[in-house]
Chains A and B, each alone.
Chain A
Amino acid sequence: MYQIYFDREKKQIEVAEGTTILEAQRLAGLRPDAPCGGAGTCGKCQVMVKGQILRACQTKIQEDLHVDTAGTLSLEKAVVLTEGFSRPVTFWPGVSVHSIEFEKTVPGDKPSDWERMLETLEKTKVKDARHFLPDPKLASTLYERIKKGGSWYVVHTDHEILDIRDHKRDYCFAAFDIGTTTLAGYLLDAANGKVLAVESRMNPQVQFGADVIMRADYALACKTKALTECIRRELDDMIGGLAEYAKRERTDILQICAVGNTCMHHLFLGISPASLVHAPYTPALSQSLTLSAENYGLTIHPKGQLLILPNIAGYVGADTSACLLAVRPDQKEEITLLLDIGTNGEMVLGNRDRLLTCSTAAGPALEGAKIECGMRGTEGAVDHVSFQNGSWHYTTIGNQPAVGLCGSGLLDLTAQLLKNGFLDKSGNLNSGQKDPKRFLLVPPELAGNKKGVYLTQKDIREIQLAKAAIAAGIRILMKKLFITEEDIACLYIAGAFGNYMNPVSAGTIGLFPISLVERIRPIGNAAGEGAKIALLNANEWRLADRLAESVEFVELAILPEFQDCFVDELEFPGEEVPG
């Protein structure tokens, strides 16, 4: 056994010989960023040991070490999108609080105290209260209450009583969007639906790999349990944080609604993702769920419920169901395209007559992975780039010296290179600089790192692959609906990347048809919004299953025309130069 000292974090841990530094970081609870899951390919987990920069995942421990994690991305400082636009919904939650009082029991009354309470409830306000499930624990409190008399409060859903109280409490709800990369949590007031607190964090599962396939790999190789516990613990911790911020008690949270893509959904519920990563790629479980929160590691009200929105298909998850609730394209006459750009680009196209969905493997390039100077949206990331009067301008997150390009900056830079003739339609880069196959945006002397910030020909090719996947998905769905881009009245863009990116840049590189730029509506964290809506309106929650079922799933992988379409979309938009 060796001692590893993380001086910067003031943490120390004992590990067995041969453990990697990355593993030691995980064990010490440091949450290292390891987008490639420790395969040694991304180089993002560099640490400093004895004056040398090493990849933590490739360095096996053979002695006591002092490890300096400076230079590694901390997962704590990232910019996470928690804002969403709200579709107005009637406040009609699935949990209500009613005050009741009833006369003392007199001899000869036949029904039990429990039944009398339900009868009183039904007589006064609550439909079908007579059929509520009996609860021995709550029933045992009735004798004292009735003896005391007066009024008390009953907290109930449409089929059970959650709590009986002497005084009204300030109950709340919590909504969670479990993203592959980021988590967003919202605490809502159960009396009026107002947002009391918002918190976002990086998904701690990132230490097991950046994308869903790597997580699934880890789950299949090392059991799902580690990933499940990791995410449950984090959400439970977020609940604590949200409650503390809002000065509420976590035990006053009555309902939680959580959404995520199918892999996040399965891992959170403790379901093996095996079926998701083997053809024909189906979820193990899709329908919506009402569960007891305490069975899933979430400490809230003892009878608190955990609502899970339904999955739609193997790679179209509960997060897309939530986006549907946030937009409700099924109610619209006009045709809308809902696009959630992440590692997988999920989309829903159609209107009230017919809705189609598909998922495209865009890969993590647009989020900065696989790009030589790519990075997440953290401090020092170039987030916007423009080219005016022959000179380049850029901004960085936090106004820090530039250290890399995040998705939105990458998109801007590519679009500007294309528009100004440094990049041709087929993606050939001619930067006009010393190395024509490399475009240096920020020279080393102005950058916050040693190498500067640049874009290579290979990076451009990665961007082409990512954009082609999404663009081809849109094109195929349009074809299946027999419509053209002119028929799309509105393009809703969900997700963090979609909200930070400049839509004109996205259209310029052909991520979607350029004509749609004028019809874009960014809708922020629509998945989080949908989760909130499910809590705030019981009808919307009940409708979710039917909505998810009504959406037709198009499996691109089995469509022969997909590859053709994909290859066509690899090129950037523009006129064909006669050869």
Chain B
Amino acid sequence: MSMEKVNDLVTRGKAKLVPAAVQEALDEGCEAGALLDTMIAAMDVVGENFKNGTIFVPEMLIAAKAMKKGVEVLKPHLASGASGALGKVIIGTVAGDLHDIGKNLVAMMIESAGFEVIDLGVDVPIENFLRTYEENPDTKIIACSALLTTTMPALQQTVAAINEASWRSKVKVMVGGAPITQEFADTIGADAYTPDAASAAKKAKELAA
């Protein structure tokens, strides 16, 4: 019952009600890992609905926030590493771009899918992407975003720098952002492009498998 309630509240994006429901479920003896799974399942449904066009960006953002609130309550109860079992993902908005809502959404969806996300934030210089990978050589994916058409060149330069790196073959590069297309992703030599956060999480799972 409590588990279903958490699942339902996350799906419906009730961020204010989720923490209490998670606590209640824990108090009733539900396992933290199972609760996390049910929330991940809820986000899967949200992602699926988004892809089908039955829900839109606002609901995704609201649901992701609800999930985050739930995870905050859950964190102390989770075995370390349980929430990042699929590996590490480095994510950031490229230099010259301060937009992060879309990028954050992708980060949350990828995290919800079971990755450990290293979020470099916005306006990330190329060197930061490279250095962070070198500090975390077990990283599976580097994801870069550009929201404005004016920062697409910066995305191109970032991916080009990663493509030059000696460790390039060990990592996958994902790109996204409103003006980005599959064609552009191919031109600049990225491994994958996804049009939205839900498919980004799905793609990340595929790439890391």
Contacts and interface: CB of A to CB of B under 8 A. Distances in A.
Interface string B104-135: 10000000000000000011000000000000
B101 interface: yes
A105 to B, nearest CB: 63
A457 B53 CA distance: 10
Interface in A353-404: none
Contacts of B98: 279-281, 555, 557-558
B14 interface: yes
Interface stretch (A123-131, A212-220, A243-251, A300-308): A212-220
Interface in A544-571: 555, 557-558, 563-564, 566-568, 570-571
A461 B150 contact: no
B150 A217 contact: yes
B149 A213 contact: yes
Interface residues of B, number: 31
A281 B148 CA distance: 12
B104 A426 contact: no
A578 interface: yes
Nearest to A219: B150
Contact of A567 (B53, B61, B95, B97): B61
Given A279-B122, A458-B56, A579-B17, A213 B62 contact: no
B17 A426 contact: no
Interface in A188-244: 213, 216-217, 220
B150 A564 contact: no
Given A461-B57, A579-B14, A567 B62 contact: yes
B57 A426 contact: no
Interface residues of A, number: 31
A452 interface: no
A278 B65 contact: no
A322 interface: no
B16 A278 contact: no
B26 to A, nearest CB: 18
Contact of A426 (B5, B59, B95, B122): B59
Contacts of B96: 278-279
Nearest to A217: B149
B9 interface: yes
List the 7 closest A-B pairs by CB distance, nearest first: A461-B56, A557-B98, A278-B96, A277-B150, A279-B123, A279-B98, A570-B58
Interface of B: 5, 8-9, 12-17, 53, 56-59, 61-62, 65, 95-101, 104, 122-123, 148-151
Given A465-B57, A555-B98, 16 more contacts: A213-B148, A278-B96, A278-B151, A279-B123, A457-B56, A461-B58, A465-B58, A468-B58, A557-B122, A558-B98, A563-B101, A566-B101, A570-B61, A570-B62, A571-B62, A579-B8
7 contacts: A213-B150, A217-B149, A279-B96, A279-B98, A465-B58, A566-B61, A570-B62
